[in-house]
Amino acid sequence: MTTPHILIIEDDARLAEMVSEYLGKAGFRVAVASEGRAGLERVTREPFDALVLDLMLPDMGGLDVCRQLRAKSDLPVLMLTARGEAMDRVVGLEMGADDYLPKPFEPRELLARLRAILRRGRSGGPANVLRFGRLEIDRDARIVRLEGTERALTGYQFT
């Protein structure tokens, strides 16, 4: 199993650094984008296993980021935001987030929720593996192998 690669889209540099460091110590590879457009661009260029997304970003709202992402990808999204009212959580989940954690939060809870999202992405029935000659596509694990060598694909390329 490969190390999970997480993208954090968060404009608060101190919070992004704290979350990145915590997830890194827990064994994740972490990348950070401080704006929504930059985060969407990274998702199209790099393979990520999940996204931690703030709602209030300087260039575009997190709901817009989630909506644009959902149009192209099923990358798991955990919203991490100061907007913690029940209606905010409902809207976030209805817009495509897989989970929603209001700030302030416990880092251990964020880690547990992220691990649960990743488990859900990998679980369910027998492996869904397609084989075409020397090409193998594991749709459940989101892995592509060519001649036995794993190839990195972005979430957008995978779908």
Q: Which uninterrupted H or E stretch holds 68?
A: helix 62-72
Residue 39: the pLDDT is: 97
Q: For residue 90, is it within any domain?
A: yes
Number of domains in the chain: 1
Residue 81: the pLDDT is: 87
Q: For residue 115, is it within any domain?
A: yes
Q: For residue 156, is it within any domain?
A: no
Is 51 in contact with 9 (CB distance < 8 Å)?
Answer: yes
Tens-place pLDDT, residues 54-103? 999 999 999 999 999 988 888 999 999 888 788 888 888 888 999 999 99
Is 6 in contact with 49 (CB distance < 8 Å)?
Answer: yes
Indicate which CATH number applies to the domain containing 50. 3.40.50.2300
Q: For residue 145, is it within any domain?
A: no
Is 98 in contact with 78 (CB distance < 8 Å)?
Answer: yes
For Cα atoms 85, 91, 92, give the angle at the middle one, nearest 5 degrees: 90
* Domain encompassing residue 88: 5-124
115 CB-near residues (< 8 Å, 6+ apart): none
Q: For residue 159, is it within any domain?
A: no
Whole-number Å distance between alpha carbons of 111 and 93: 19
Q: For residue 149, is it within any domain?
A: no
User: pLDDT-based confidence at 4, cuts 50/70/90?
Assistant: very high
* Count of C-beta atoms within a 10 Å radius of residue 32: 18
Handedness of CA 2, 32, 57, 47 (dihedral sign): negative
Q: For residue 28, is it within any domain?
A: yes
Average pLDDT, the chain: 88
Tens-place pLDDT, residues 23-49? 999 999 999 999 999 999 999 888 899
Q: For residue 16, is it within any domain?
A: yes
